[in-house]
């Protein structure tokens, strides 16, 4: 069985799995291949399955900006992601990090926005905590998706 090829969007400023020189970090090299390609939506996907599965990665501040400042662009992305077979938003941080953000809207309004994303667009949100947590989740999710896809279970 060929190794999975994980696509990393070229617009990702600090891509997961790669070191500062763009080399795949040890530990992932024998488990998957990685390519940098522009994705229409999301930051991570699988070669040949870009229209079926995608993961949008956000930092806490990026999520804040997407919800408050760049809302129209983010809604367009949510609509596209919501039409895929599987999509996730992975946040490098915790809800506590977000709600404690200086100048943030009140907690109830924030909570409602997140619930709306999950209910209206059908996109779950995973709070990864750290960059390493994001990396582990993205890798595990995409490789597991591919496994079930190859078995005809998706």
Token match 């969007």: residue?
9
pTM above 0.75, yes or no: yes
pLDDT the model gives residue 105: 59
pLDDT the model gives residue 48: 97
Chain center to CA of 128: 10
Q: CA-CA distance, 134 to 108, in Å (whole number)?
A: 26
pLDDT the model gives residue 27: 64
pLDDT the model gives residue 36: 92
Residues of the chain with pLDDT under 70: 19-30, 100-106
pLDDT the model gives residue 82: 97
pLDDT the model gives residue 110: 79
Domain ranges of the chain: 5-150
Query: Residue 142: which residues within 8 A CB-CB, separation 6 or more?
Result: 4, 6, 44, 45, 46, 53, 55
CATH 3.40.50.10130 describes domain 5-150: yes
């Amino acid at each position: 069985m060929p190794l999975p090829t994980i696509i990393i969007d070229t617009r990702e400023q600090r891509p997961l799995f790669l070191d500062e020189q763009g080399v795949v970090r040890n530990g992932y090299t024998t488990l998957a291949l990685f390519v940098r390609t522009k994705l229409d939506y999301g930051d991570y996907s699988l070669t040949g399955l870009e229209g079926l599965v995608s993961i949008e990665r956000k930092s806490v501040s990026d999520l804040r900006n997407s919800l408050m400042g760049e809302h129209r662009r983010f809604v367009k992305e949510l609509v596209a992601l919501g039409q895929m077979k599987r999509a996730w938003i992975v946040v490098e941080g915790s809800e506590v990090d977000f709600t404690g953000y200086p100048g943030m809207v009140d907690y109830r309004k924030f909570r409602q926005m997140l619930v709306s994303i999950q209910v209206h667009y059908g996109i779950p949100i995973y709070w990864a905590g750290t960059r390493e947590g994001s990396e582990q989740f993205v890798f595990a999710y995409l490789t597991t998706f591919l496994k079930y896809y190859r078995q005809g279970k998706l």
